[in-house]
Amino acid sequence: MKKLLLALIASSLVLTGCSNSSHILNLSLSPIPYSMNLDKSIASHLSVAVPTNDFALSAKKDGAISQVLLYYKPDKGDKVIFMAAYLFPQKSFDKLKNPNQPPSYGQEVIRRNGEVLSIAGPSDSIFDPNSTDGKNITALYDTIYKASTYSPAP
């Protein structure tokens, strides 16, 4: 009886894991060699673009290898910038740290192979927190600073 119960529990855990993974999409952050693991329903609101503004030029001067903006398209209205992602050589990123100022290029999320992936996200949602878009933004915000959200590109 115990073996049957253990087998049923194990089978249920496997099936639950499989069903959850079918709701996950890997959104490429190319040219940054990472992707974000996101719920498909939220990922459908997102698009990635390489910035070309003055701030992007400053990031490049400061050593950024690559950078992207992640846009969020609400159910109604125009898309908005949700976050920026940067890839820096470790030495360049470390030189930019100043304990007396907020980080210019976001928070370090991953340090790997001599490079740092940093994320600069919102400080607050511009959407009503009870709306679908507000809930999506909150869910995104809860994940963007976790290393487990990102997978290295092959």
pLDDT at 49 over 80: yes
On whether residue 11 sits in a domain, the answer given is: no
On whether residue 113 sits in a domain, the answer given is: yes
pLDDT band, very low/low/confident/very high, at 21 (cuts 50, 70, 90): low
Q: What is the pLDDT of residue 125?
A: 82
On whether residue 77 sits in a domain, the answer given is: yes
Distance CA 50, CA 151 (A): 19
pLDDT band, very low/low/confident/very high, at 18 (cuts 50, 70, 90): very low
pLDDT at 91 over 90: yes
On whether residue 18 sits in a domain, the answer given is: no
**Nearest partner of 97 among 112, 83, 82, 116, judged by Cα:** 116
Q: Which domain holds residue 141?
A: 24-152
pLDDT band, very low/low/confident/very high, at 101 (cuts 50, 70, 90): confident
On whether residue 54 sits in a domain, the answer given is: yes
**Nearest partner of 139 among 26, 50, 45, judged by Cα:** 45
On whether residue 138 sits in a domain, the answer given is: yes
Number of compact structural domains in the chain: 1
On whether residue 5 sits in a domain, the answer given is: no
pLDDT band, very low/low/confident/very high, at 70 (cuts 50, 70, 90): very high
On whether residue 125 sits in a domain, the answer given is: yes
Distance CA 33, CA 24 (A): 19
pLDDT (tens digit per residue) in 118-150: 999 988 888 999 999 999 999 999 999 999 999
> Which residues lie across from 72 on neighbouring strands?
46, 80
